[in-house]
Every structure is written in C-alpha cells, then in structure tokens.
Amino acid sequence: MIITIGCFIKPITAESKTSADSLRISPWKQNHYIELSAGVGSHLVISSIGWHKMFDVAWKKRFKIGAGIRIGMANSFDRVLTTAPIDRLPSNAFDTLFIPHHSTYSVNLSLHADLSLTTWMDVGFGVDLVGISFGESASARYQASSFSENGTQQTVKPEMLNLLAFSHHNKGSLNNSFYLRFWPGMNLFVKTAFTLYHSAEETAIPLQYGSRYTGYTYMGSISVGWTPFRSIMKKPEKSNP
C-alpha cells in the first residue's frame, strides 16, 4: 500500500521547496529518521523503534553519516547459548544453556552510514555501540560435558552493559545490520536488512566456565519509517560544450 501511494506523490524534500524556503531549513532539521523494524531468525524475534539524525558528508549529498537511539525488544524461544568465547580456557571448551523463553529489552546508542545509489535507493549499515539491557529473570537448563551442575535448572538475566568491543569481547544485546533503503514517496521509506544480533545472559551463580553465556543469530529484518525533511543527492552538473 505504501509503494502504491508513493508512486503518484512527489516526495517532500528540502530541494523541492523554493530557494527562500530552502534557506530556512537548516541542515540540523533535515534527515531526522524515525523507524519501526522487526526481524525473525532461528528461535528469535526482535523488534525496535529508533530515531537517528544523518548529516550530508560528501559526494554531492550521496554519502551520509549519523547517530541515534534504538529501543529494542527480543523474544527468544528454545534458544541455546554457549560459554562466552573470552571465558573459554582452552578455547574449544564450553558449556551451554538451554533457555525455553526469555524477553530482553535494550536501549542503545547507534551509528549509521549510508550511500545514495539513486534518488530512491540507499545502501548502508547501522550498528549499536553502547547501551543497557534489562528484563525479568528466566529459567534455563545447564548442560555440561563433565561438571557436577550438569542438567540443573539455573536462573538467568540479561547482561546489563551493551558494548560493541568487536568479536568475542562484545557485551549485552547488540543489533548490527547492512541494509537497502527504498523511498517510495511522501518522505516515507522501507528498509530491508541483513542483521547480526548478539545477546548475552548471566547466570545467578558462576558455573564451570564463569557466568556469561552468549550467542549470535543471523536474521532478516524489515523497517518502515518517515522523515519530515529529506536532503537528496544532487545530480552531476553537465559540462558546457
């Protein structure tokens, strides 16, 4: 329905106004994106609402970078997490936690960058940098190859600190994605993304390899969003013969 309407209505952009109006729309008012997103992966469903502000950086407004806030929720079902890689000594030794169901909430500062391929399509990425996670405790079954607590019920809760520290140093709930954004019109957009979701849980008591258990999930996601004023790429100027 969004695409059908957008094909017949010219998008409202800073450039579509008169020169006098354009001067009154400062760069700080342009490219404020508000979006709702949802993603589905193996044993996991995520959703979020986010805002981020983009700045025109280079290449005649083709390249933009910015930052914002993302508020997310993750619902896991029959999910298996393993000992955090940084706690594995040796590296191939790990235990697992089987979690029947758990809901986690997060608030993260996010970084964004995108490149306009055409007036109606962008490619880019968004990553969560730092934030917090929270949620109620849940029951989990501990599975170990050789440990006295093998098979016992444990209590887990989300790791509070979210931090993008790269690879096995990552902490908490982080949502990182590469995307294609389409602009059907009326300053609305639709975004499809390939998402890598990292999550971490902590047990109430330390076990054989510590108390942190983590997991990565690859998933697809889709977003819809809106911006009040959009700055679009400038077409290359034709050289005079």
Sorted by where each begins, the domain ranges of the chain are: 38-226
Query: Residue 148: what pLDDT?
Result: 85
* Other C-beta atoms lying within 10 Å of the C-beta of residue 36: 13
Average pLDDT, the chain: 86
Query: Residue 61: what pLDDT?
Result: 86
pLDDT (average), residues 34-49: 96
pLDDT (average), residues 37-49: 96
Query: Residue 23: what pLDDT?
Result: 42
Reported as a pLDDT band with limits 50, 70 and 90, residue 185 is: confident
* Other C-beta atoms lying within 10 Å of the C-beta of residue 153: 9
Query: Residue 237: what pLDDT?
Result: 57
For the stretch 208-232, pLDDT in tens is 888 999 999 999 999 999 999 888 7
Reading the block at residue 83, the tokens are 């000992």
Beta bridge partner(s), residue 206: none
pLDDT (average), residues 182-208: 93
Beta bridge partner(s), residue 185: 188
pTM of the model: 0.82
Residue 199 vs residue 59, higher pLDDT: 199
For the stretch 102-149, pLDDT in tens is 999 999 999 999 999 998 999 999 999 999 999 999 999 999 987 888
Reported as a pLDDT band with limits 50, 70 and 90, residue 18 is: very low
Reported as a pLDDT band with limits 50, 70 and 90, residue 85 is: confident
Query: Residue 48: what pLDDT?
Result: 97
Are the CB atoms for 186 and 5 separated by under 8 Å?
Answer: yes
Query: Residue 205: what pLDDT?
Result: 93
Query: Residue 141: what pLDDT?
Result: 96
Query: Residue 236: what pLDDT?
Result: 55
Max Cα distance, the chain (Å): 83
Please give the torsion angle defined by the CA atoms of residues 191, 112, 18 and 118, in that order, rounded to the nearest 10 degrees: -50
